[in-house]
Structure 1
Amino acid sequence: MNSENIASIVVEYIETQNTQYALLLNGGWGTGKTFFWKDTLLPLIQQKNLDTIYISLNGIKTIDALQKQLFFKLIPYFDKAQNKTLKALATISGNLIKSASKAFIKVDPSDLFQGIGVDNFDFSKKFICFDDLERCRIPMKELLGFINGFVEHKNLKCLILADEDKIFETDENQKTNYYSIKEKVIGRVLNYKPELKSVIPQLFNKYENDKAFLSFLKKNENYIFRIFDEQKEDNIRIISFFLDSLQNVLKCVIDIEDELKKELLFLTAILSIEFKRGFLKSNESHDYKGLGNTTYFWYQEVESDRLRVNILGKKEEPEKEKTYAETFYLKYVSNRLEDYHFYESAYTYVLSGYLNVDKLSKELEKRKPEQPTKEQEAFSNLMSYNFRKFTDDEFATYTADVLKYLEEGAYSMYSYEQLSGFYHFFAEKGLIDYTNDEIEKKLFTGIQIASKKNEIDRRFYDNMIHFEVSNPIVQPIRDKIIELHTALNKELVKEESNQLIEVLTKEEYEKLDELFKDKKFNKDFIAYLDGQVLFQALNKNTNQFLTLFRNEIKERYKHTNVKMFYPDDYECLYQLHLAIQKHLNENEIPTLRKFLWEELETLLDNTCEALKKDDAELGTAFKS
């Protein structure tokens, strides 16, 4: 039932004289029943000149406790009460309480009203909302009987908020009692399901004192609606949590481009859903689960590897369960690739509540486009496929300038394939006075210089190699890019891998765990590490640290088809295995230390066997 229909039923209920029943607003957890009461129903009721009272039944154990709550909620309306005795007692008790507090005497205000119950009040002009029916600890028969006494005999207007499905979760025996008296007390059940399209702008009203944020929300209202609508997420508490989180993130980085704000909006929204639904935990706030790698080409590569393994015909093994990153990608990212960028600081904030503003600022700074140099500006103009709009003088200037810059190595080495395509085209069409050989020479001279910058772009490279060259004439420069990238990547990965040696040398317990989690989906983390060097570092570690290292190795390689995830780790692990064997054979080692080395050796032996077996099977499969 939509909110307008519910509102009209409540108004009709208010206007009906001498009603003897209550209304029940039924809806799931977090659907915003309380918000709907406060934001929509409460103003309507107050317009009808009824005194409104709200009572949460959460945790209330006895009727006496409920009566006391109701009594104190009624005190503000004593002045309107026709019963002069109540008004006089209220005045007297107020003075007594003030005197008692001055004398530091403990007085329970309810004791001053002995003999006076809620029955003394006129309820014909009252409207009471009882919330959280399913969380009440009073037996259902007693509770509904208590409420019935007022709605049937005193014409009280009453609305009960509940999630009926949860009433019997703690006590199945309540079901009989509930249904036996429900029909007597509740005249109509209103099933509430929030309409995101109308609820979301209402949630924005909370931020009316933050004009900039409110303006941003209104500008992106449809976008926010589509995110939650696509995920079929109508839990108002989750959406409210997202809005509060986004406000705190954006107020720390006010002057950023709208595109970056939109990235933060999307990421905060989907992380809020995952966190509040229990798929992410607070203690995982620094375990990024590979979410920074979730790109189209990353997923295509994962799927290709999975397909390759299936080709091997390993029917005895069940299909490998998707990683969290894969599930996350399919659920959120695949349809909104242009909106997704992973900010580690935002992830940590949503999960933990701590926002590292400096880290967020640095992450955003990296996202800002650099001011183009004269070389980049010339490149952009010429490579935009709009060169036909140039004058002849402009075209001559741009082609000469870019050719000069590319020969000097001014551009990223990954750009040289595109440059090759354009300049060979210009030469073929007679637009420039250079032969293909002359162009090729300049390209290879420039790319060699460009590679010396040691600038590596793995994402661009992955994108490039997923497509065949459109013109065979650019194949030589593509091959050169692959050669240079491979060499640079190997050196960079070696440098990254050496972080492990540094952590082992310093015996930094927390950093060891963080490092393995951070590199969990990195295929090259171990691949280029020297196994002998790794052994030397481990040999200096304590038994405790050696055990921790073994646990991390066990966790990294615990799944089947390890070759698919870590195709090049075999050499390092095998060298480490041989070094441990040699150490055990040639040295006298204390009993416990020897036991730990043997445990690690066995683990490495099994892991290497799995990697080696996969290699053999792959070779056999593709030969056949």
Structure 2
Amino acid sequence: MNQNDLIDAIKHYIKTPKCYYSAVLINAPWGAGKTYFVKNVLYTEVKKELQNANKYMIYISLNGINSVDLLCSRFNLAKLKLSNKPKNKNNIAYDSLNVISAFSDLLSEENQKKINAALKITGSMVKISKKLVMSFKGEEIIFILDDLERSTIPIEELLGCISDIAEQEGCKFILIGNEEKIKDQDKYHEIKEKVIGHTYLFKQDVQSVINGELKDKELKDYEGKIIDLLNNEESINYRVLFQSLETYKELKEMIKKIQFDYFKNSSNWGRFLYELLSDCYFNKKENIASKKEEKDNIEDSYKNLLFSMKNEDMHKFKFVNDVNRNGLYNVSLIKGEVERYIIKSIESEKTENLSFLRNNYFLMEDEEIIKHFNMIIDELESNEIDYILYPQIISFYYRLVSIDLYEENNMFDIMKRNICLNKYEYHTIELDSFNDFVPKNYTSNYKKIVKELITVQEDVQIGKEIDLSDDEDWVSKLESIYYSKEKIYMHRRAFFKYVNSTSLLEKINNSNNKTIDDFRGFIKKISRNFGFDHDQEIVRSLVEEIRKYLKEPSGSKIKKYQLDWLVSNLNEFAGIDEGDNQNNMG
């Protein structure tokens, strides 16, 4: 049932003088926004009907209520709160306290005396409900009882109490809950038909929630897109959505204070806020899903995976995950990530032709496709396209070649030239082996050229040979260089082939035991989970020279066992069998 139909049904219930049933139920899963709807939408919509019928609404949560006595005390105390309000003002009386004494300051002295006297006589709030003289008649009140499934009162007692009070006092009840989560389902359905006249299956209206809760003028242009995004969800947990909105608003204010020039443009700012809000919501949802992963069955896990994949093209911010998972607001992390987002956005603006082509080429005429692709080639020639997009350009190029729309040209040479200029130093080209945009008969061509580009980029990034001659702390220099380009060295399965052997051997020969021990530690650390077998030739050469030091008369500062261990570590690093090394030396 949609929101408007539900409101009309509740209005009818309010206006009906007498009903043959005691209550109606608004039923929906947890997180569907039932409580939000009642407190923020329903009451506002039915105010006029309440006033015309001279009725008052009282809201009580059943969460934590564990006895009929306590429930009846809530009814009476809520009514007493209402008795202190002017008769012409309709307000939901929110009551979440568990003890009577907490209300003493809200009660008139006369009513307080009546409660105390009744307690002495009866010791039971159930009996007080029958004897206490109130300024409100039962038929004037509509009780909203939320969290039906969270009450620990046995369901037959709870519904029996509601039925008795409705019959004796003439009041009405609107129950809110998740029917599926009520513990004793058999007893519930057995007694339900005697108490609950109508069950309304509730579905929240996304637009009314966004309009009511977001209220962000700077996102006005994206409201429709946000609503579409949420409407496409199989199920929306509104509790998660409200928490996400709070996180979004806090992060937005923090980012505003940092003052990025790029966001002075309202269009840039709006687009960023949309991506930030989307990430706040989906990241929160993913975190909750991951916490439940062990409890989920295969089907549930599959659904969680689907909504992650469906939104994988959205920008993901690490700082959003930090906030959602740990509650950490790291300003320096936020600043750094937003700066990277801005750089990426500026670069993507330069590649609109590529995005447009990939998404729309099948709707375009041949001449228009060629025109747009030539514009991409022009951007390539002026080195205005980031290297990370080269594989996408190549895949689209082969698609055009496969349908005889384009002939091979010097595009690949232009790419290699650009890479050598190293304009986009920290942006790495990667091969997507499963790129389904590449025609099957051109897959090998695609892989070959992308691998060539990766090799060119790695050569540029590795740079000239590492010379240790002028470095006193040569081990630290090796560590620093290795870790700055670790991905490249691991991909090439080699490191020492890029180090000047003469300078390295000189450092080894002139070092002390502590330095050699540090060098051995570095070797063991980087080879622990990876083999550098492409370094075998250079390592054999190094080992041969080190063994010469071992044969020379002792005059070195280094203990011989340290050099023995070093030889062993180098062999292990390059995946060389010690016996094989000895044979090669012989």
TM range (shorter): 0.5 to 0.7
Which string of whole-angstrom CA distances, capped at 9 and with x for unpartnered residues, describes residues 582-601 of structure 1? Answer: xxxx989xxxxxxxxxxxx9
> How is 1:452-491 mapped onto 2 (pairs within 5 angstroms)?
455-459=425-429, 481-488=453-460
2:206 equivalent to 1:199: yes
Is contact 1:128–1:157 with CA below 8 Å preserved after alignment? yes
User: What is the CA distance between 1:226 and its match in structure 2?
Assistant: 2.5
User: What is the CA distance between 1:225 and its match in structure 2?
Assistant: 2.2
Q: Which residue of 1 aligns with 2:71?
A: 66
> How is 1:394-473 mapped onto 2 (pairs within 5 angstroms)?
450-451=421-422, 455-459=425-429
2:3 equivalent to 1:3: yes
User: What is the CA distance between 1:416 and its match in structure 2?
Assistant: 11
Change (3 A) 1:152 1:264: same
Opposite residue 243 of structure 1, the aligned amino acid is L
TM-score by length of 2: 0.57
Is contact 2:24–2:198 with CA below 8 Å preserved after alignment? yes
Change (3 A) 1:477 1:460: closer
Opposite residue 188 of structure 2, the aligned amino acid is Y
Change (3 A) 1:454 1:253: closer
Change (3 A) 1:276 1:204: farther
User: What is the CA distance between 1:108 and its match in structure 2?
Assistant: 11
2:27 equivalent to 1:16: no
Change (3 A) 1:249 1:587: same
Q: Which residue of 2 aligns with 1:594?
A: none
Opposite residue 17 of structure 2, the aligned amino acid is Q
Tell me the percent identity: 19
User: What is the CA distance between 1:123 and its match in structure 2?
Assistant: 0.8
Is contact 2:66–2:151 with CA below 8 Å preserved after alignment? yes
Mapped partners of 1:260, 1:203: distance in 2: 18
User: What is the CA distance between 1:31 and its match in structure 2?
Assistant: 0.7
Q: Which of 242, 245, 255 lines up with 2:244 in the alignment?
A: 242
2:60 equivalent to 1:52: no
Q: Which residue of 2 aligns with 1:124?
A: 139
Is contact 2:386–2:427 with CA below 8 Å preserved after alignment? no
Q: Which residue of 2 aligns with 1:147?
A: 162
Is contact 2:7–2:46 with CA below 8 Å preserved after alignment? no
Change (3 A) 1:51 1:489: same
Is contact 1:414–1:461 with CA below 8 Å preserved after alignment? no
2:50 equivalent to 1:76: no
Mapped partners of 1:131, 1:363: distance in 2: 42
User: What is the CA distance between 1:147 and its match in structure 2?
Assistant: 0.9
Q: Which residue of 2 aligns with 1:270?
A: 282
Is contact 1:62–1:138 with CA below 8 Å preserved after alignment? yes
Q: Which residue of 2 aligns with 1:190?
A: 200
RMSD: 6.0
User: What is the CA distance between 1:219 and its match in structure 2?
Assistant: 2.8
Please say which of residues 362-371 and 236-245 is displaced more in the overlay. 362-371
User: What is the CA distance between 1:217 and its match in structure 2?
Assistant: 4.1
Please say which of residues 18-27 and 442-451 is displaced more in the overlay. 442-451
Q: Which residue of 2 aligns with 1:32?
A: 33
Mapped partners of 1:370, 1:176: distance in 2: 58
Mapped partners of 1:346, 1:355: distance in 2: 9
Secondary structure (helix, strand or coil) at the match of 1:252 reads helix
Change (3 A) 1:479 1:349: closer
Opposite residue 248 of structure 2, the aligned amino acid is L
Q: Which of 143, 158, 174 lines up with 1:159 in the alignment?
A: 174
Which string of whole-angstrom CA distances, capped at 9 and with x for unpartnered residues, describes residues 518-540 of structure 1? Answer: x9x9994895567999x966976
Instruction: Identify unmatched segments of 5+ residues in structure 1.
Output: 83-92, 99-106, 169-173, 209-213, 282-320, 390-398, 419-435, 495-500, 507-514, 558-565, 580-585, 589-600, 609-624
User: What is the CA distance between 1:371 and its match in structure 2?
Assistant: 12
Is contact 2:28–2:203 with CA below 8 Å preserved after alignment? yes
User: What is the CA distance between 1:328 and its match in structure 2?
Assistant: 8.1
Mapped partners of 2:332, 2:448: distance in 1: 44
Q: Which residue of 2 aligns with 1:365?
A: 339
Mapped partners of 1:357, 1:524: distance in 2: 33
**What is the count of residue pairs matched by the alignment?**
431
User: What is the CA distance between 1:61 and its match in structure 2?
Assistant: 1.3
Mapped partners of 1:176, 1:477: distance in 2: 67
Change (3 A) 1:488 1:26: same
Change (3 A) 1:490 1:69: farther
Q: Which residue of 1 aligns with 2:94?
A: none
Mapped partners of 1:22, 1:65: distance in 2: 20
Opposite residue 485 of structure 1, the aligned amino acid is Q
Q: Which of 330, 343, 346 lines up with 2:317 in the alignment?
A: 343
Mapped partners of 2:47, 2:418: distance in 1: 76
Q: Which residue of 2 aligns with 1:622?
A: none
Instruction: Identify unmatched segments of 5+ residues in structure 2.
Output: 88-99, 106-111, 122-126, 358-366, 372-377, 394-408, 467-474, 498-503, 509-515, 544-559, 563-568, 576-586
Is contact 1:526–1:572 with CA below 8 Å preserved after alignment? no
Q: Which of 229, 232, 236 lines up with 1:230 in the alignment?
A: 232
Opposite residue 342 of structure 1, the aligned amino acid is K
Mapped partners of 2:176, 2:451: distance in 1: 68
Mapped partners of 1:356, 1:41: distance in 2: 39
Is contact 2:219–2:274 with CA below 8 Å preserved after alignment? no
Secondary structure (helix, strand or coil) at the match of 1:25 reads strand
Mapped partners of 2:226, 2:385: distance in 1: 39
Is contact 1:22–1:159 with CA below 8 Å preserved after alignment? yes
Is contact 2:31–2:240 with CA below 8 Å preserved after alignment? yes
Mapped partners of 2:27, 2:451: distance in 1: 65
> How is 1:186-585 mapped onto 2 (pairs within 5 angstroms)?
186-194=196-204, 198-208=205-215, 214-254=216-256, 256=263, 257=268, 258-279=270-291, 331-333=307-309, 337=313, 340-369=314-343, 450-451=421-422, 455-459=425-429, 481-488=453-460, 524=490, 527-528=493-494
User: What is the CA distance between 1:159 and its match in structure 2?
Assistant: 0.6
Change (3 A) 1:65 1:251: same
Secondary structure (helix, strand or coil) at the match of 2:235 reads coil
Change (3 A) 1:183 1:569: farther
Change (3 A) 1:454 1:128: closer
User: What is the CA distance between 1:160 and its match in structure 2?
Assistant: 0.9
Opposite residue 79 of structure 2, the aligned amino acid is L
Opposite residue 484 of structure 1, the aligned amino acid is V
TM-score by length of 1: 0.54
Change (3 A) 1:370 1:14: closer
Is contact 2:61–2:147 with CA below 8 Å preserved after alignment? yes
Is contact 1:490–1:528 with CA below 8 Å preserved after alignment? no
User: What is the CA distance between 1:332 and its match in structure 2?
Assistant: 3.8
Please say which of residues 198-207 and 179-188 is displaced more in the overlay. 198-207
Opposite residue 455 of structure 1, the aligned amino acid is E
Is contact 2:252–2:273 with CA below 8 Å preserved after alignment? yes
